């Protein structure tokens, strides 16, 4: 999603972040500490691992601090430093995006059986998926968003992370995570947990902003998907595949993912204000996302 620019006003209106809110880490993919700095937004830095080529946030907020933002009501409706100013204003564009993506999953033969979406938000993807999958499940960290998603008919929603799910939530044919993996602090452990929820031969599909596309090169520091501090890892196709390989997945397939955004949201990044129906016109932006599927 196109992000909001961060401010220094957060949680309880105190100056943020404190030094105690931050942590320094090794590469989340290979464990190396050899890096070069490629982007600075004080006090945060995006660094490039010299050993495996992964880009990630270092220092970053401690996970417990970041989770406080996901759990507050305003994350999807009144975000300043993090979140979305109005997630519902993107509903039309998101539904078009998700239906296009689901059509690609069907074309590849992946649209059948039991679907689990991790990080389902308000449930727009799951609602569109009812024409593609007979059984729908979702998880969401935000209780506010999960409560709204629970109102969808014939969809099972749980509040919490993947490790909080009951044991019977398993044997899924496909697990989908859209705009999630870039938020994950321990991505290898996360994928292994998802793998345990799949049936033998089941598939995972990850969709994330493409750090290997031409957009970061053209936009530089203004690339919207830096979305600091909540995006903690920045993937290209090569290192996303390497991550999946290390989690024990195989049979990789790229899935076309065309992302649509409201026209008003796009031009607003350039200081142009468009309201009303004109601002809601969905516009597809190429090469903003990568989507990679792999088999257990």
Per-residue pLDDT averaged across 74-84, rounded?
46
pLDDT over 60 at 61, yes or no: yes
pLDDT over 80 at 77, yes or no: no
3-state secondary structure 10-71: ECCCEECCCHHHEECCCCCCCCCCCEEEEEEECCEEEEEECCCCCEEECCEECHHHHHHHHH
8 Å CB contact between 35 and 50: yes
Tokens 């902003």 belong to 209
3-state secondary structure 104-171: HHHHCCCCCCEEEEECCCCCHHHHHHHHCCCEEEEEECCHHHHHHHCCCCCEEEEECCHHHCCCCCCC
194-209 pLDDT tens trace: 999 999 999 999 999 9
Q: Provide, rounded to the nearest whole percent, the portion of the chain with pLDDT above 70.
A: 88
pLDDT over 70 at 2, yes or no: no
Higher pLDDT among residues 94 and 1, named by residue = 94
Distance, in Å, from the CA atom of 168 to the CA atom of 8, rounded to the nearest integer, reads 43
Tell how far CA 268 is from the center of its chain: 22
pLDDT over 80 at 165, yes or no: yes
pLDDT over 90 at 274, yes or no: no
8 Å CB contact between 280 and 116: no
This prediction has a pTM of 0.88
What is the pLDDT, as a whole number, of residue 73?
A: 54
pLDDT over 60 at 183, yes or no: yes
Kindly list the structural domains of the chain, giving each domain's residue range(s) and its CATH number in brackets, ordered by start. Answer: 9-295 (3.40.50.150)
Counted residue by residue, the chain has a size of 296
8 Å CB contact between 284 and 260: yes
Per-residue pLDDT averaged across 164-168, rounded?
89
Distance, in Å, from the CA atom of 162 to the CA atom of 266, rounded to the nearest integer, reads 33
Range of weakest confidence among 120-129, 227-236, 277-286: 277-286
37-53 pLDDT tens trace: 999 999 999 999 999 99
What is the pLDDT, as a whole number, of residue 208?
A: 98
Average pLDDT value over all residues in the chain: 88
Per-residue pLDDT averaged across 155-179, rounded?
94
């Amino acid at each position: 999603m196109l992000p909001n620019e961060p401010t220094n006003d957060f949680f309880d209106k105190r100056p943020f972040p404190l030094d105690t809110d931050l942590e320094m880490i090794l590469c989340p993919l290979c464990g190396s500490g050899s890096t070069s700095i490629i982007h600075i937004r004080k006090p945060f830095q995006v660094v490039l691992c010299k050993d495996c080529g992964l880009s990630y946030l270092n220092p970053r907020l401690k996970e417990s601090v970041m989770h406080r933002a996901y759990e507050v009501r305003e994350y999807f409706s009144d975000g300043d430093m993090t979140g979305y100013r109005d997630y519902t204003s993107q509903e039309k564009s998101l539904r078009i995006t998700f239906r296009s993506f689901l059509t690609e999953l069907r074309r590849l033969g992946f649209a059948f059986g039991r679907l689990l979406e991790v990080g389902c938000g308000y449930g727009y993807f799951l609602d569109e998926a009812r024409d593609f999958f007979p059984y729908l499940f979702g998880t969401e960290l935000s209780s506010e968003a999960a409560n709204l998603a629970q109102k969808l008919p014939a969809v099972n929603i749980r509040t919490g992370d993947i490790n909080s799910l009951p044991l019977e939530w398993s044997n899924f044919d496909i697990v989908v995570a859209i705009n999630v993996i870039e938020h994950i602090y321990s991505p290898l452990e996360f994928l292994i947990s998802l793998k345990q929820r799949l049936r033998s031969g089941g598939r995972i599909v990850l969709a994330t902003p493409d750090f290997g596309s031409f957009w970061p090169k053209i936009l530089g520091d203004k690339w919207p998907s830096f979305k600091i501090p909540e995006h903690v890892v920045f993937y290209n196709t090569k290192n996303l595949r390497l991550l999946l390989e290390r989690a024990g997945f195989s049979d990789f397939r790229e899935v076309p993912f065309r992302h649509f955004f409201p026209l008003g949201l796009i031009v607003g990044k350039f200081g142009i204000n468009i309201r009303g129906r004109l601002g809601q016109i969905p516009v597809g932006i190429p090469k903003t996302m990568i989507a990679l599927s792999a088999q257990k």
